[in-house]
Amino acid sequence: SVLVLLPLEVATGVLYKLTLLIIESFNIESGEDAPDLLNVITDPLTNSIVQLDKSVITGIATGDPEARNKSLIKVWCKKETNTTFWNVTVGNCTAGAVCWEEGNLTWTEMNMTWTDYQEKCKHLFASANLPDLAVGLILLALSLLVLCTCLILIVKLLNSMLQGQVAVVIKKVLNTDFPFPFTWVTGYIAIMVGAG
């Protein structure tokens, strides 16, 4: 295929033009409007394994000292922050507070904010009480295991495909030498064909 397509491409540029037409038909945009081609496939899988708390990442990036002590692993996927206001009586009104008097009493407005945790995340490490380092090491080991397994399976697949008649043809072509005065050229031609 290289011996046919390379001269064809050099002479006419047909492969470049064909791939350009295909890419332009996708209407792919760069920047923030770029489509998430692989994320559509990978996000459901990665979100079922682990989810990261983006607010902690943002806090660390902006230099928030409280964010450094928080875990990056998201535990609560749905939470709501509520603020309640109520009126209380005070002896003296503090500076900057909204105060009013009714009879002999001085009133001010107090507030309290709390977070209502409503729904826990549904990934593998949501309920695990492990530090971030342990989760990272577990995920590293898991990803290396998957990578090695895939590589071994690819080698096994190629090995099984290249048996029989195909293996005989490949061995015959690769182990062929040119006649006597040109035997030294065989290796160089094999390199050029392989690199082409």
CA angle 145, 148, 150 (to 5 degrees): 105
Does any domain span residue 88? Answer: yes
**Which pLDDT value is given to residue 138?**
95
Domain that holds residue 88: 76-120
- Has this prediction a pTM greater than 0.75? no
Residue 32 has pLDDT above 90, yes or no: no
Residue 151 has pLDDT above 90, yes or no: yes
pLDDT exceeding 70 applies to what percent of the chain?
Answer: 94
Average pLDDT, the chain: 84
**Which pLDDT value is given to residue 33?**
66
Number of domains in the chain: 1
Cα separation, 132 vs 73, in Å, equals: 7
**Which pLDDT value is given to residue 14?**
92
Is the model more confident about 47 or about 27?
Answer: 47
pLDDT exceeding 90 applies to what percent of the chain?
Answer: 22
Contact (Cβ atoms closer than 8 angstroms) between residue 114 and residue 81: yes
**Which pLDDT value is given to residue 18?**
92
Does any domain span residue 146? Answer: no
Query: How much is the average pLDDT of 17-29?
Result: 84
Cα separation, 87 vs 11, in Å, equals: 85
Give me 14's structure tokens. Answer: 């047909």
Query: How much is the average pLDDT of 85-104?
Result: 78
Cα separation, 116 vs 95, in Å, equals: 31
Q: How confident is the model at residue 191 (pLDDT cuts 50, 70, 90)?
A: confident
Does any domain span residue 83? Answer: yes
Does any domain span residue 113? Answer: yes
Cα separation, 175 vs 105, in Å, equals: 104
Give the other-Cβ count within 10 Å of 50's Cβ: 19
Contact (Cβ atoms closer than 8 angstroms) between residue 69 and residue 91: no
Does any domain span residue 103? Answer: yes
Does any domain span residue 47? Answer: no
Does any domain span residue 9? Answer: no
CA distance readout (Å), 184 to 166, 175, 179: 26, 13, 10
Burial degree of 125 (CB within 10 A; 0-12, 13-18, 19+): buried
